[in-house]
Every structure is written in C-alpha cells, then in structure tokens.
C-alpha cells in the first residue's frame, strides 16, 4: 500500500498517444483503467503533459527531407523526430477523456521549449535543463515515485531513470504502461531501468 511518502507520476496519458492519435502507442488507451484504480490509492498524484509549440524541433515536419522516426542531431545530440503531436491547446494534447484523477495536485507540462525535447519529467533532453519536478517532490517530502503511463520506452523510462538519478526510489507499474517499441526500443529501456535500480510492480500488487 502506498504511504504518504509515495507519489504516483502519470506520464503523458494524452489523446495523441492513444489509438487514433498522431503518435499512437499500441493499446495506449488500455492504461487508463489501471491508472484510475492506482490513483484511488495515492493521496498524491502528479500528471505530465507533453506540450509542444507547433514548430517544435522534435517534429519531423520541421526538418525538410526527414521522416517521422528518423534520428537527427540537434545541439544537444541525437534526437528522434516524431509526427507532429501534443501541440499546445489542441485536442491531441488533452488528457484521455476517461482519465479520472481529480485530486492530482500538479500537472507538469514539458517539451514547451522549441529547441529542446523533454522525454523525462525531471530533465529535458539536453540533460541540463531541469523541469523543477525533483525539487518539488523533495520539498513536498516524497521519497518514492511510482510511474505509469505512456510510453514505457520513452517518457516513462527517461522519467524513471531521472527519478533514480535525483535520489528517489522508482517503481514502474508495468501493466499501467504501454510502449512504442521503435526498432526494439523497449527491451534496452527495460534493461537500463533495471540496471539503474528501478523496480517493477504490477498494478494489482499496488492496488
Ligand atoms: C513521448 C515521443 C515524443 C512519450 C513524447 O510520451 O513517450 N514520446 N514525445
Ligand atoms: Zn513529444
């Protein structure tokens, strides 16, 4: 059972990552039921919301000759380019309509700087620009972060790794996440998390 030092971090459960969305994660909408059930067990819930300007540098459309899912080099290094997704204030950027976490105290938007993508809820892809979430959670007295949402191998994995790097215990609720699995990206993401000390749980074990 979660304690008062535990927080549930719900990553990017937005229309564009669900079936029919611009960057649909296979079965992405299937996480909603488990996340709602988890949410009822946590006094503290934080949501992240991928939130890009229309000309965001992670969009393939901004790089002539590039296709979605290509890898390009930006100032800070390699960056996968994606279909345009989660554009600020569009329906695709809205949370899935059945997500029911009314008590969530913080919605953390990320990826709003044109030149820097942000998979992680803690730190942007330049690996320097902090989002402030680590300081927020520490000041609020949390020690352990449970993670759920989309996508396991991108925003969830980067968030879990950075949670550990920031000194938190991180627990990935595996069946409350779904992966993009781009060119087999899920397996190495799971290995990196395990090696970093992220632990894995099933929603039924937490609920
Ligand atoms: C994500 C790719 C681009 C994610 C966000 O939420 O995992 N992936 N933007
Ligand atoms: Zn994005």
61 confidence band (pLDDT: 50, 70, 90):
very high
Cβ of residue 189 lying under 6 Å from some atom of ligand 1? no
pLDDT tens digits along 142-167: 999 999 999 999 999 999 999 999 99
Q: What's the CA-to-centroid distance between 25 and ligand 1, angstroms?
A: 9
Mean pLDDT of the chain: 98
Pairing of strands 144-150, 106-110: unpaired
Residue having the nearest C-alpha atom to atom 6 of ligand 1 = 155
The dihedral through the CA atoms of 55, 58, 63, 65 has a sign that is: negative
pLDDT score recorded for residue 65: 97
Cβ of residue 162 lying under 6 Å from some atom of ligand 1? no
> What average pLDDT does the segment 99-115 reach?
98
CA distance 195 to 17: 27
Instruction: Report percent pLDDT > 90 for the chain.
Output: 99
Listed in sequence order, the DSSP H helices in 92-185 are 133-139, 157-165
> Judging by beta carbons within 10 Å of its beta carbon (0-12, 13-18, 19+), is residue 181 exposed, middle or buried?
middle
CA distance 1 to 50: 29
- 191 phi, psi to nearest 5 deg: -65, -45
pLDDT score recorded for residue 115: 97
What is the reported pTM? 0.98
Q: Which residues are registered as beta bridge partners of 146?
A: 8, 171
> What average pLDDT does the segment 24-32 reach?
98
| Closest C-alpha to 165, from 203, 121, 202, 201 | 121
CB atoms within 10 A of CB 1: 7
CA distance 194 to 176: 17
> What average pLDDT does the segment 86-111 reach?
98
Cβ of residue 151 lying under 6 Å from some atom of ligand 1? yes
Helices first, then strands: H and E counts in the chain:
5, 8
Query: Residue 182: left if φ>0, alpha if ψ -120 to 50, beta else—which one?
Result: beta
* For residue 1, pLDDT beyond 90: no
pLDDT tens digits along 118-136: 999 999 999 999 999 999 9
pLDDT score recorded for residue 54: 98
CB atoms within 10 A of CB 160: 32
Nearest listed ligand to the Cα of residue 182:
1
Pocket perturbation via mutation, ligand 1, pick of 57, 119, 179, 186 by most ligand atoms within 8 A of CB: 119
Which single residue is written with the structure tokens 């090696």? 195
Instruction: Report percent pLDDT > 70 for the chain.
Output: 100
């Amino acid at each position: 059972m979660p304690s008062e030092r535990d927080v549930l971090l719900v990553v990017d459960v937005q229309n564009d990552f669900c079936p029919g969305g611009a960057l649909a994660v296979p079965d992405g909408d299937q996480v909603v039921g488990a996340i709602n059930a988890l949410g009822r067990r946590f006094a503290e819930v934080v949501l992240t919301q991928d939130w890009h300007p229309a000309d965001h540098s992670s969009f393939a459309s901004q790089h002539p000759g590039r296709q979605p899912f290509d890898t390009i080099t930006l100032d800070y290094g390699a960056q996968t380019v994606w279909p345009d997704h989660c554009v600020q204030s569009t329906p695709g950027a809205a949370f899935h309509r059945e997500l029911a976490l009314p008590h969530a105290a913080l919605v953390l938007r990320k990826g709003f700087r044109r030149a820097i993508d942000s998979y992680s809820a803690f730190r942007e892809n330049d690996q320097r620009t902090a989002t402030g979430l680590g300081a927020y959670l520490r000041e609020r007295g949390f020690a352990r972060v449970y993670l759920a949402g989309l996508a396991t191998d991108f925003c969830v994995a980067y968030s879990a790794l950075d949670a550990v790097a920031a000194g938190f215990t991180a627990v990935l609720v595996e069946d409350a996440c779904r992966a993009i699995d781009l060119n087999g990206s899920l397996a190495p993401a799971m290995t990196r998390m395990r090696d970093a000390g992220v632990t894995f749980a099933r929603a039924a074990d937490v609920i």
